[in-house]
Structure 1
Amino acid sequence: MKYFIYTFGCQMNIADSERIATVLKDLNYKKASKIRDADLIIVVACSVRQSAVDRIFGLIPKFKNLKAKTILTGCVLNPDKEKLKDKFDYILDIKDLNNWYKGSQYPCDYLNIPPIRERKFIANIPISSGCENFCTYCAVPFTRGKLKCRDHNEIIREAKDAVLNGAKEIWLLGQNVNDYKSENTDFPKLLKMVNDIPGKFWIRFTSPHPKDFSKRLINAMVSSHKYGPYVNLPLQSGSNSVLKRMNRPYTYEK
């Protein structure tokens, strides 16, 4: 049996696909090099961006003459699920990946499933999933749910394994990555812990929220000799009235 995965959207969806690949490998599936050779086609979707949804509709005609079963998962809004439910054999919640089949050996938090990475150079490591900011333009709280943070020990374990396997870029991922908290570990402390992992590699993260971009975080970035000369800080707008309509809790002056 062979599988083929289409991934649309952000790095978090890439990380999800890498975990799906692990589950399928344990079910004795092998990766197909071409879609026509697959017995199972999985589409990891993104309702956050309309262009990604449009691409799924453009992809569906390719399934017409194939005998493969199809699964839709990822960040999918309910209205998009309704539009697509007749186009796929199954629509499954990515958060339930560990329950996709009976006898799963994996923990309840699917993010702790070890990934199979195609690109050894880059490790996309989710540290949290979901968001509770409810910006007026964003679908994430409705597709990913409330903020849920991984145990910091699991994150460090995955980062160490990635470095040992040749990763030169460690990307810490979250829809609101710098709102991370696990017991007594917040994001600045986690950044330092990753920095202390032996080896030569860069550290990057995405996507942060300006309201959580503290001085402690800035100091942690400055003091880290592995943090790359790069920052992604989505201010969204320079207009206070627009920021208010976006439900962004800060002003241009701040």
Structure 2
Amino acid sequence: MRDDRAALTRLLSTVRYEVIPTATVEDRVRESVPLDVTVTVTASPTKGLEPTLDLTERLAAAGYRVVPHIAARLIASETHLERIVARLVRAGVEDVFVPAGDADPPVGPYDAALPVLAALSERGNPFPRVGITGYPESHPSIEDDITIQSMWDKRRHATYIVSNLCFDPRVIARWAIRVRRRQVSLPWFLGLAGPVDRAKLVAVATKIGVGESTRFLTRHPSWFARLAVPGGYAPDGLLRNVTRALRSHDVSLTGLHVFTFNQLAETERWRQDLLARYR
């Protein structure tokens, strides 16, 4: 349908690419990512926030809109948070993403995202845009009702939601409708795994650390298995189906948050191919 094509074109034009701060990713971004695509930088529970902040500064200096992931459980103290804020403001960062993070135990006093979000509000909201995580599928350690309630609690401090990876369009649609019924009206970016080769994913997983790789694969085993099946996972199919599932509901998507696993050339080629097809 024409409306679906228009919606897909809009979403593909409002996109964020998530990258992992490795030694080669800066060059990959510069080679493959247009300056009008926002780049978000993850945080490692084993390496801390320093690689995230370093890469954010370099990409911002190169002219990109950069969104660092400020994982709450990696913030060592209130003073550390103040230093992080000052550093990012100096770099011209206007958008941060605040998840709880996977560090266990936390390295400091923050064990969840909400206290960090509240602390940023108390400091006068130094960043005009602040993102939080949504969970279409059950969180491995948090009840569904609590995750929805958490978004309600965070809504005063945040400006948008990014949904975590999910590969069932019906589950995503039901979650989005449920969030809106709970009067959480923040703009929503659909978390979408980009096109990635299984062997390349394994290589990236090795670089980011065995523990983190294990956590990711534990959370998303069905997706990893699909990579080995001919004609398996296709991000464009999931995107079309989510758009259709939400067509008759008053739930609109703001854009896409693409988990690239640093396969940036492949991801950008996929996006441009779809844009050419839908226009």
Same fold (TM over 0.5): no
Which of the pair is proportionally richer in strand? 1
Which of the pair is proportionally richer in helix? 2
Shorter-chain TM band: 0.3 to 0.5
Ranked by relative contact order (alpha carbons within 8 Å, sequence separation 6 or more), the top structure is: 2
Tell me which structure has the larger Cα radius of gyration. 1
**TM-score (normalised: structure 2):** 0.35
